[in-house]
Structures are given as C-alpha cells and as structure tokens.
Structure 1
Amino acid sequence: MDQPAARSFVRSVHGVRYQVKDVARSVAFYTRQLGFELKHQQLPAFANVSLGEVSLLLSGPGASGSRPMPGGRPQEPGGWNRVVLRVDDLPGFVAELKKVGVRFRNDVETGPGGRQVQIEDPDGNPVELFEPAGAPAGARP
C-alpha cells in the first residue's frame, strides 16, 4: 500500500498523552517512582515527562488536550491502552513499588516473551512493566 501523503506529513512520534486529574501529582509519580525526567510543565494544566526518547504528555483538566470531544464526551483517565516500560529485575522493582503504595492491576504474568505486570498512575492510567525472557534475574546495567 502506497502512503506518500502520510510520509510527507508524519515526522515522528511526539509522545503519548495521558489524561490526569492533578498534573503535579502525576509528575511526582512518573519522576520519583518510574525515573522519568521532567522536560516541561505549565501547572496546573500540563507537563511533559520523558524516559529516553519517549515523552508522556500529562494533560490536566485545564489543558487544551483535555477538552471534551465535539459531542460532549469527556476525555478521562484509565482504559487499557498503555505505555510499556522495559525493566530489569521485575520482581525486585515490584517489591519496591509495593513498599511505596503503587497500585497494581494484576500479578506478574509470565509468557513466552517475558514477564509483565500492570500498575496504575495516580489517576488510573495503566503502565506496563516488562522484563524480556532470557534477562538474568536481578540484572541491572
């Protein structure tokens, strides 16, 4: 399938947008619990946090990216689409997150590709933590 029009417009992935209720609280969660870096914020409406080349765009109730759809349907946190973070030592990280009260959606699941678990940010947006199969237990770079 030829896609010349898309190639002339789409340059890269800018980020993943999450709807949040309290931007400052979300920034604290992503930076303190998951190691993201704060790139930009305009409290209380918006913040951009990043990990490597991936940016999460945290949109609070006052952000333009949070306005209701034309039919009036509100944009809300939660759902099942999620950012997936590759981690080392999943059991160790799970233990650390449980100590600080992070909410888990499920227990660690193991499959042919590796192990994963879903956590929630303070607004219920899912984040998947993934450790590929074959990674040494407790390995850290």
Structure 2
Amino acid sequence: MQPAAILESALYVNDLAAAESFYTGVLGLDLLGKVEGRHLFFRCGAGVLLVFNAEVTKVPPSPDARLQVPPHGTVGEGHLCFAASADEIVGWKAHLKTRNIDIESEFEWLQGGRSIYIRDPSGNSIEFAEPRIWGL
C-alpha cells in the first residue's frame, strides 16, 4: 500500500484574521470553511490547506463533541510549498511586489527548477517552486 496523494496540509498560526486576509487576499485561495478562533480551510487545486490556531487545536475534544479529531499542533514556523511553473513564479514575484510582500529568498536548484520564499503573517515559510525540483 502507498498513499496516492496528499489530500490536505496544515499550518499553524497565531492570528486567524491575518491568515484569512493573507491566504484569500494575497494568495487568492477560496475559503471552504471556518470556525471562529479555531481554524480556516482553503481550497488549493485538488487539495486543501488547513490553517489552525495552534493553541486551540492542542486541546482534546470534549467527550460529547460530534467530531473526535485528536489534538494536534506545533510550535514555530512551518513550511508549505505551492507548485508554480517558471512563468507563474515570474507572475507571483510581480503580484507579491504589488502587495508589499518581501521575497525572502530566490534561487535555482542544482537539479533544475526555481523557488521563491516568502513569510505569512505568522512567520510560516511559504515557497513557490517548479515541480521539477522533485522530478515531477
């Protein structure tokens, strides 16, 4: 057995309102759902990006909760990489500049393919990269 794909990925933030503004307003992701103070869910291509309030998701659900999702969370900056073609990376650079989002790093990988890195409002490392950096 081997998983076919990653269905969802999660980042943990300390300010859900700032995260919602960033992921919808800057990155253009569609908001799928939200629970005030707890989480935001965004559509991204065929997958879903889950953005959680880190402290709240560490708390186990009450015994009578409808969904018994186990506690989870992390401390510190996470990382997420969005797939982008070379032309799309050029477009992202221009778009991010108009939004006053600094590009933290930009380079060509030794195996081929480009990446750019930015930070979300909670300090998570967000990358845009050509899939060929992984041979895809």
> So what's the TM-score if we normalise by structure 1?
0.68
Residue in 1 that maps onto 2:17: 24
Structure whose alpha-carbon radius of gyration is higher: 1
Matches within 5 A, 1:79-98: 79=78, 81-87=79-85, 88-98=87-97
Q: Deviations over 1:34-61 (max 9, x none)?
A: 1211000011211101211121111114
Structure 1 residues 104, 45: CA separation in 2 closer, same or farther (over 3 Å shift)? same
The match for 1:114 is: 113
State the alpha-carbon separation in 1 of the partners of residues 15 and 121 from structure 2: 9
Match of 1:139 in 2: none
Judged with a 3 Å threshold, the aligned counterparts in structure 2 of structure 1 residues 132 and 56 are, in CA distance, closer, same or farther, namely closer
Partner secondary structure for residue 29 of structure 1: helix
Q: 1:85 to 1:12 in 2, by over 3 A?
A: closer
Give the superposed CA RMSD.
2.8
Residue 47 in structure 1 maps to residue 45 in structure 2: no
Shift of 1:132: 5.8
Question: Structure 1 stretches (4+) deviating beyond 3 angstroms?
Answer: 10-14
Cα contact 2:10–2:51 (8 A) shared by 1 = yes
Partners of 1:37 and 1:18 in 2: how far apart? 16
How many residue pairs match? The answer is 118
Aligned to 1:58: 51
Query: Equivalent residues in 2 for 1:98-109 (5 A)?
Result: 98-106=97-105, 108-109=106-107
Q: 1:17 and 1:103, CA in 2 relative to 1: closer, same or farther beyond 3 A?
A: same
User: TM-score if structure 2 supplies the norm length?
Assistant: 0.70
Cα shift at 1:83: 2.6
Look up the match of 1:128.
Answer: 127
Unaligned runs of 5+ in 1: 69-73, 134-141
CA distance in 2, matches of 1:52, 1:76: 27
